[in-house]
Amino acid sequence: MSVGEPIDRVDGRLKVTGRATYTADQNIPNLVYGVLVTSAIAKGRIASIDTSAAEHVPGTLAVLTHKSRLKLAKDPTEVDESSPADRALQLLQDDRIFYGGQPIAIAVATTLEAAFDAADRVSVRYEAQKPSVTIETSLPTEYVPQKMGGAGDPAESRRGDPDQAFGTSYVHLKEVYTTPFQTHNPLEPHSTIAMWEGPRKLTLYDTSQGIFGDRKRVATLLGLQPENVRVVSLYIGGGFGSKGPTWSHTLICAMAARHVNRPVKLVLRRPQMFGPVGCRTETRQTISAGAAQDGRLTALVNDTMTHTSVMDQFVESATLPTRMLYSTPNNRTVQKLVRSDIGTPSYMRAPGEAPGTFALEVAMDELAYRLKMDPLELRLKNYAERDEDKNEPWSSKSLRECYRQGAERFGWSQRKPEPRSMRQGNKLVGWGMATSVYPARRSPAAARARMYPDGRMLVEAGSQELGGGTYTIMTQIAADALGVPVSRVTFRLGDTRYPQTPVSGGSQTAASTGTAVYEAAKALKAKLDAMGGNWNNQPYVEAEVSTERNKEAKSLSMYSFGAQFAEVHVDADLGQIRVNRMTGVFGAGKILNAKTGRSQFMGGMVWGISFALYEHTTYDTRLGRIVNNNLAEYHVPTNADVGSIDVSWVEEKDDHVSPIGAKGIGEIGITGAAAAVANAVYHATGKRVRDLPITPDKLL
Ligand code: MOS
């Protein structure tokens, strides 16, 4: 059995030797280069755009703007609401500007240098209006959406009478927690190569986390049959949600390729990652919590405000953990939106749960201090034995065991409760903890498995490899189901020619595509067993299966949980914070590969450190433009910023979530992590910072 074993990535050697072909690495004959021109204002219109100087750059094939009147089959600002990753796109159709960095032109040339040069020579005159990019200035547009994307949860929830209970609680708090705009920065920028084979047939190499959704969106907008659009995404250099939807540049690249009648490659420049391809919205969460003297929660309320754009709706569902993480008879949440002049916010690793667990888990910490109770004990006191929001039992929940093991591994019992009580010389030492939570999702998927007479197995499913280990775990699942060693199996993904699978988002790939691969391999094995070695000269034996929606999800609530503990050292004079060590213990179903699994959890935890201390997309509020749109000033932690990370998990057996027992682990690691760090900073310093990131100036 290989599942669970820490086997090396099957694509590891290709990656470290530079032979894994990422989107922009595809070697396409006759290829030319596109470079986007983006808006220098955040709101208004293009008064005039002059491309004559650009067109004179030698090698330039075309400079396309809204004046080029490139035709589309459908209005790109209309979105299919049943397809939550569809975004309103800006495809050079008119002169309106909705946000800074909006694509307004593309230069196409025979060399990349010429394309850069031409793009730089496009001269634009704007009629600018004053933009609004803060919650305050956007408040007149406030509204409560009908529902939230993804699972389509309602935007409001209520049980009991929290207002009445809050007023009569033994202790209560009402505090505002804010998290800033953040921008996904995978090392690999978004890239597309568009290649037409005749006027109605298109191949797209695209950095897509969801090749089938991408195909549908592109086909719809260009008026093509979906089967005549092939999307290929063999390796992705990080996605984090930003490559889930189809964004404007993909379509603009395809439109430009059709115009110049050559394959066009378009790679976003790093500053172009800030705006047109999504972000995590700023959140403002007002939490009201009341508790009885013994610590039992009497009321819990989360009133959340986030941004969406003026042309589209995205809800960062930060209230979700408040609804279900703790037992409380009185609970209310509401998600509000304001419309700002920004690129539409989108999914970023644990959308909703990441900022949502920051606010909730810091509020729980504050409540613990007011009750003079250990923060871990407070959580155990309010342990939810069932999902009180959906009023359903859990499919499985090992959170109690995660708390126990995490506390033991970290040494939590040695903690002195008083803030500033664990000083070491000039360093203020703080210990904090928080809870992790993320839904366990599974969508219908398909896969096929094949055996050749020489014994080789080939397994294929659409899917995508974001770097998390999809090639590897699928190979393991197939090998075990077929009863052969991993070395006999080749798994291929990332092509719409393979069976259809869902978007690699919402941590659902392992459970969804993994189940399809498992069922296909089992079906092939049954076929082979029935044949008893009688091949009848067939070139191969094949089985293909499609899985259904998980019916058990109708009556069971499915989540992964975890406990995180952090130790920070804060310089008493300078306020500099170092996260010395973290411990995370997770209950997330079957962990399919101990090596890639550990990396997934750890990556999430490191991002939690980044969330707590570093990341902040900063707008110039007068101009509505992002000022730190580069990796020098958009801070993320380096190795030197991250202490030791101790990752482990509780062996959890859950037959309800998926036949392979996997719940999915792509996102849970970031949840609770920022709160654990923030709570440790409070314990170290006695200063409660409710406004992320916790930069040294906030401690002085
Ligand atoms: Mo993830 S933010 O659902 O790709």
Does 278 sit in the ligand 1 pocket, CB within 6 Å? Answer: no
Q: Name the residues annotated as catalytic.
A: 667
Per-residue pLDDT tens digits for 86-135:
999 999 999 999 999 999 999 999 999 999 999 999 999 999 999 999 99
Question: For the whole model, what pTM was predicted?
Answer: 0.98
Give the number of the atom of ligand 1 that is nearest the alpha carbon of residue 349. Answer: 2
> What pLDDT is stored for residue 536 in this prediction?
84
CB proximity list for 520: less than 8 A, separation 6 or greater: 446, 447, 448, 449, 459, 461, 478, 543, 544, 545
Per-residue pLDDT tens digits for 401-445:
999 999 999 999 999 999 999 999 999 999 999 999 999 999 999
Sheet holding 191-196, edge to edge: 60-64, 103-109, 32-38, 264-267, 191-196, 202-206, 229-232
Does 150 sit in the ligand 1 pocket, CB within 6 Å? Answer: no
> What pLDDT is stored for residue 498 in this prediction?
98
Among residues 551, 582, 550, 554, which one has the least CA distance to residue 569?
Answer: 582
**End-to-end alpha carbon distance in the chain:** 55
Does 354 sit in the ligand 1 pocket, CB within 6 Å? Answer: no
Show the CA angle centred on residue 463, arms to residues 461 and 465, nearest 5°: 120
Does 351 sit in the ligand 1 pocket, CB within 6 Å? Answer: yes
> What pLDDT is stored for residue 85 in this prediction?
84
CA of 350 to the centre of ligand 1 (A): 6
Among residues 265, 255, 259, which one has the least CA distance to residue 91?
Answer: 255
CA of 511 to the centre of ligand 1 (A): 15
Give the number of the atom of ligand 1 that is nearest the alpha carbon of residue 350. Answer: 2
Does 186 sit in the ligand 1 pocket, CB within 6 Å? Answer: no
> What pLDDT is stored for residue 33 in this prediction?
98
Q: What values do phi and psi take at 527, rounded to 5?
A: -60, -45
Among positive and negative, which fits the CA dihedral 34, 39, 40, 42? negative
Cα–Cα dist 610/586, whole Å: 20
- CA-proximal residue: ligand 1, atom 4 (nearest): 241
Give the number of the atom of ligand 1 that is nearest the alpha carbon of residue 348. Answer: 2
Among residues 539, 645, 663, which one has the least CA distance to residue 592?
Answer: 663
> What pLDDT is stored for residue 539 in this prediction?
94
Q: What values do phi and psi take at 177, rounded to 5?
A: -115, 130
pLDDT means over runs of 10, the chain (700 residues): 97 97 96 98 98 98 97 94 89 98 98 98 98 98 89 92 94 97 97 97 98 98 98 98 98 98 98 98 98 98 98 96 98 98 98 98 98 98 98 98 98 98 96 98 98 96 97 98 97 98 97 98 97 89 97 97 98 97 98 98 98 98 98 95 97 96 98 98 98 97
> What pLDDT is stored for residue 535 in this prediction?
86
In the block, tokens 């409001």 appear at 156
